[in-house]
Structure 1
Amino acid sequence: MACPYLEYRSADGHASFDHERAYCTASSSLVQPMRADICNDRYDLDHERDCEIYRAHAEVE
């Protein structure tokens, strides 16, 4: 299951994109495609285990 903080956006408030881009609501920022692979649990990655942004945000809640 993908990270609950992952969204795909076609704009960031300042500019629009040709393709939707990964956005992390935990860090309030667009993320690089390799980071989105972690968010989507691709390639045997797990967002709960491999993403420091997710872990830090989960500790706060």
Structure 2
Amino acid sequence: MTCPYLEYRAAGDGHAFDGERAYCTAAAEFVQPMRADVCNDRYELDHATDCEIYREHRGTTGSDAAGEGEP
């Protein structure tokens, strides 16, 4: 699944870009292209267990996200 927090923007921080850049809405910052590739399922990422930004935004830890932590 594609990350629900990843967007592509042609401008940001008062600057226009030549092309769209990856922006993580959970982290509220632009991310490196390689990070965006990972977020876009090219490596079968499970956001709920593999992405620390996603887990932090949802208020879960690694063990909680995997269903192994206490509620």
TM-score band by shorter chain is 0.7 to 0.9
Residue 49 of structure 2 aligns with which residue?
A: 49
Instruction: Flag the structure with larger Rg.
Output: 2
Task: Find the residue that maps to 1:23 and give its secondary structure.
Answer: strand
Q: TM-score, normalised by structure 2?
A: 0.73
**RMSD of equivalent CA atoms:** 1.5
Identity of aligned residues (%): 67
Bigger relative contact order (CA 8 A; separation at least 6): 1
Q: TM-score, normalised by structure 1?
A: 0.82
Displaced runs of 4 or more, over 3 A: none
How many residue pairs match? The answer is 60
The 5 Å alignment of 1:21-60 reads 21-59=21-59
Gaps of 5+ in 2: 61-71
